[in-house]
Structure 1
Amino acid sequence: MPDTSTSSPTLPAGSARPSADAAPTPAELLEFVRRTAADTALVDSLPLDPEGRTWLRLEGPGGSEAWLIGWPPGTGTGWHDHGGSHGAFVTAAGELWEQSLAARLPTEGWKTLELADDVDRERRVAAGQGRAFGPHHVHEVLNTSTDRHAVSVHAYYPPLPLIRRYSRTGAVLRLEQVERPAEWE
């Protein structure tokens, strides 16, 4: 998922694509990101910055939006959602951690929510591992390593209409910002 760090130009993934007539399912997006993450030449082509995330925009299946993302040690996305898009990601190199909420949040009309007990989920996503998620997924992704970059592949459908960014203090989640595609493309 893009942030305001260093970016790189668009690069087509060159993978076979399903028919543009059919919207890709989360399972199809997961298969695409797995296949792309296994492309070592593509993964190795990503320029890595020691201080900020870097990315290449990829051509995803069926009109989806896809990204190859480099994560320096200690970086993360912060809490966010994907504006109603479903998606998938796979770690191609290194290791990432995902913290997510097992709760469906209202999409509009609030600034602060108190989360119920037992909504937090955490998973280690080692190289070759990944997951698909639905349109209401709220999470943060982190490279907790102190000395090693991680690289991952992400795909979203429909292409991200927006990203809502949140801050979190204990059980309180606060909507901080809504980003539009022009801010990260």
Structure 2
Amino acid sequence: MPQRVSTPAPSSASVPPSPPLPAVAGRSGGSSAPTAADLLDFVRRTAADTELIDSLPLDPEGRTWVRLDGPGGSEAWLIGWAPGTGTGWHDHAESYGAFTTARGTLKENSLAVRLPASGWKTLELADGVDRERRLTAGRARAFGQHHVHEVLNESRETHAVSVHAYYPPLPLLRRFSRSGAVLRLEQVERPEDWQ
């Protein structure tokens, strides 16, 4: 019998609490982790770099990606999305992050609920936990730890390109399948699986 998840998560419009700002020009204090706002600023600035965006090789049938140097030791990626491609349902474990669309339009389906970190294989989701947003070029969003979502390029003709950053660097990725209100843990990937 699936466990039932019904506790709503904080509003997706809010940025979760995050560590102090890192030491950079104009800031005082020692070196520390980037905040969600720092990651959001990074993905926006990177997406505005048209030379970098143009340099990403695009595959006509699949996603392509290049690892970037993120701020304060974060993990960052430039990702190309062929028409009709997507990530499937997943989370980023203990990492918080941000992403923006540099070209095209991406759709994000997410769950406004915090899932248990471990100890389950199947969950029944309560009504009202689904969220949907479209991120056209220049639109960005930040998210907290254990954020469950899928990202899709629903265009049938146009590639999309996006920039993503996570802190701490992704320790793992949990992949899920979904059938109606039932979410099932299918796979746990480690960094060596996508390097």
Identity %: 76
Q: Distance in 2 between matches of 1:84 and 1:139?
A: 14
**Alignment partner, residue 145 of structure 1:** 155
| Code of the aligned partner of 1:25 | T
Q: Is the 8 A contact 1:18 1:61 kept in 2?
A: no
Q: How does 1:79-98 map to 2 (within 5 A)?
A: 79-98=89-108
The alpha-carbon deviation at position 73 of structure 1 amounts to 0.3
Q: Which of 112, 132, 149 in structure 1 is aligned with 2:122?
A: 112
The question of 1:125 aligning with 2:118 is answered no
The 3-state SS of whatever aligns with 1:32 is helix
The 3-state SS of whatever aligns with 1:80 is strand
Q: Which runs of 4+ in 1 moved over 3 A?
A: 17-20
The alpha-carbon deviation at position 57 of structure 1 amounts to 0.2
Q: Distance in 2 between matches of 1:83 and 1:104?
A: 11
The 3-state SS of whatever aligns with 2:135 is strand
The alpha-carbon deviation at position 79 of structure 1 amounts to 0.2
| Code of the aligned partner of 1:116 | A
| Code of the aligned partner of 2:172 | L
Gaps of 5+ in 2: 1-21, 25-29
Q: Distance in 1 between matches of 2:152 and 2:141?
A: 15
Deviations 1:39-85 (A, max 9, x none): 00000000000011001100000000000000000000000000210
Q: How does 1:147-166 map to 2 (within 5 A)?
A: 147-166=157-176
Q: Distance in 1 between matches of 2:31 and 2:180?
A: 44
Size of the alignment, in residue pairs?
169
Q: Is the 8 A contact 1:163 1:180 kept in 2?
A: yes
Provide TM-score, normalisation by structure 1: 0.90
Q: Which of 69, 85, 88 in structure 2 is aligned with 1:59?
A: 69
Q: Which of 82, 86, 90 in structure 2 is aligned with 1:76?
A: 86
| Code of the aligned partner of 2:85 | T
Distance 1:32 1:146, change over 3 A: same
After superposition, the CA RMSD in angstroms is 1.1
The alpha-carbon deviation at position 136 of structure 1 amounts to 1.7
Gaps of 5+ in 1: 1-16
Provide TM-score, normalisation by structure 2: 0.85
Q: Distance in 1 between matches of 2:106 and 2:149?
A: 13
**Alignment partner, residue 178 of structure 2:** 168
Greater Rg by CA: 2
Q: Is the 8 A contact 1:67 1:154 kept in 2?
A: yes
**Alignment partner, residue 29 of structure 1:** 39
Deviates more, 1:72-81 or 1:20-29: 20-29
